[in-house]
Structure 1
């Protein structure tokens, strides 16, 4: 099995281009169609794939698992595994596909991940994580980062997170994304692990204060760009998860946020109104052009044998908070999901949205 020819990769470095707003890797959600949509909303956010298990990257259908549209760049590949040699090979394959960064999952608490001895359970073996990072760094030239929790089960988050961070940075990691919750490997489902363990943003801030010259990003429960701006005063990156997926219109404000760069602390004061950074789409964003682009993208996907619903399922929450959003959701959830549905349905659904009253509730 041969690798895909390397795509053109933009100049990208996980450390020097801080501050970063990233869209979290989310299983069953952040596939290539989701990422293409998100890229139309923001040119500057860092996008992440769903987690791909190292064995799958090595032995599976690589184009299906790893292929992406060059328009998605910068996009990072998240890998799952605990075997340094396999992760090194998977990272090399990912680099050959053109990914801008390779990320190691040390945060997923699902039963399937635990049975493979990777994900969040690796918080208990920081030396092994360091070995994995070292092997990946030796295999690729692109940045290698880690996404972790502050601890698992009965671990004390103070020494647990420090041990993990010290180990991966000593091994050459270019950055660490921290989901600011513990993961409970027994007693809580993966869904419950996203909500029930309390958030501890201060723990992540303390890690950044201890490692001022290292890239530290924060994840977990962040709902708006207002909150993102607050975090970016204290850490290098913010990773949005479910808020970005369920209300993707907020991503239309990311480029303005990142454009402030060192003036980030003044961003909130420059907002025109309270909704500008909340869950409603940016009022001045060209959503008609976005719809044209997504309809064209969907048409190409259908021509290749795909279905409209593969694309539109990620667009359902796009107009959250706007008049007509309910009808938009209904059309995409029913008509777009029917066999043989074509891209004209996207335009028909968009016709139900009233962008002239963006300041009113749906």
Structure 2
């Protein structure tokens, strides 16, 4: 077991990248950290069963550069959650989050995720057991409702019940989840966003740390939400357009890193992972959005996706192509400006 010392303090305002299955792997998290030292990173959801009965080291290991990092757990057995929380603390995680928001059939069948909103007392028991097992913060990520349980008052009852344990931090996905009739993908888009419910929760429970999640895609939107709540969790936009994380550094007056500098830092990491036996494609898939909306971005994605990149040299060639494409564009713009001035 590799124990990683937890030395990071989470900065205010609290900005985080949402836990996303198959996406927020340790390779993505290493990449994401290069954009911004203050953003809080989450693991994918890891079930208690996978840790207790599976390969705990594979599920819990992370790079020391990933701090501050949160382990998101999926489960509903208080004793199992307490055991996994203690393991997470020993491993060096900054915080632990309980998933009460995932709408997939698979996790529902195991009494994990959004279905637990219907059982606030059980969630409170889980949180209490987790808190008693560790000294690091424990919190909850949940929806504003599920199925017929859609009112603000029902969400408030859920939050108040869990808050009686001493839990003070709630990450709220501002959509209900329709567990009977919509797929997990549809549950990310179809139910309308109700940001006002999350704002109201913060207003009526000012002592709680309320973090909002759902459909947030820009620095400007993040600023607007921070006028009403304590934190913002960015979901898929942080994956498809990772340079947003650099733009969010403005919240702490950080300088925005250069995309090519980021790739120069990624190259030794990729080389190390290849030496460990990792396929190149499982790493390059996380960097496809680096040049989103810039000249040559499509060719960048094509060069690195679908197994097209076979070696580290192929990645270096793709970087060189992007450098040339951007220089060509800048030169063209400058020539057009000179023509207009002449």
Match of 1:163 in 2: 157
1:149-169 deviation line (CA, Å, top 9, x unaligned): 000001133122111211222
Match of 1:347 in 2: 316
In 2: Cα distance, 1:29 partner to 1:98 partner: 21
4+ residue runs of structure 1 moved beyond 6 angstroms? none
CA shift at 1:216, angstroms? Answer: 0.3
Contact 1:335–1:345 (8 Å) recurs in 2: no
Structure 2 SS opposite 1:64: helix
In 1: Cα distance, 2:66 partner to 2:308 partner: 23
Match of 1:79 in 2: 73
Contact 2:74–2:112 (8 Å) recurs in 1: yes
Match of 2:32 in 1: 38
The structure having more radius of gyration, on CA atoms, is 2
Unmatched 5+ stretches in structure 1: 261-281
Structure 2 SS opposite 1:314: helix
1:75-100 deviation line (CA, Å, top 9, x unaligned): 10000000111000011111111110
Q: Residue 224 in 1 paired to residue 218 in 2? A: yes
Match of 1:327 in 2: 299
Match of 2:240 in 1: 246
Q: Residue 54 in 1 paired to residue 55 in 2? A: no
CA shift at 1:31, angstroms? Answer: 0.4
Structure 1 SS opposite 2:286: coil
44, 62, 67: which one aligns with 1:68: 62
1:279-335 deviation line (CA, Å, top 9, x unaligned): xxx9x6322221111111011001011111111100011100101111101100145
CA RMSD after TM alignment = 1.9
Match of 1:92 in 2: 86
Unmatched 5+ stretches in structure 2: 334-342
1:29-73 deviation line (CA, Å, top 9, x unaligned): 000000001000111100000000011112211121111000010
Contact 2:100–2:116 (8 Å) recurs in 1: yes
Q: Give me the TM-score of the superposition, normalised by structure 1.
A: 0.87
Query: After superposition, where does 1:250-329 map in structure 2 within 5 Å?
Result: 250-259=244-253, 285-329=257-301
Match of 2:176 in 1: 182
Contact 1:76–1:99 (8 Å) recurs in 2: yes
In 2: Cα distance, 1:321 partner to 1:156 partner: 38
CA shift at 1:355, angstroms? Answer: 4.1
Q: Residue 208 in 1 paired to residue 180 in 2? A: no
In 2: Cα distance, 1:25 partner to 1:128 partner: 22
12, 21, 28: which one aligns with 1:27: 21
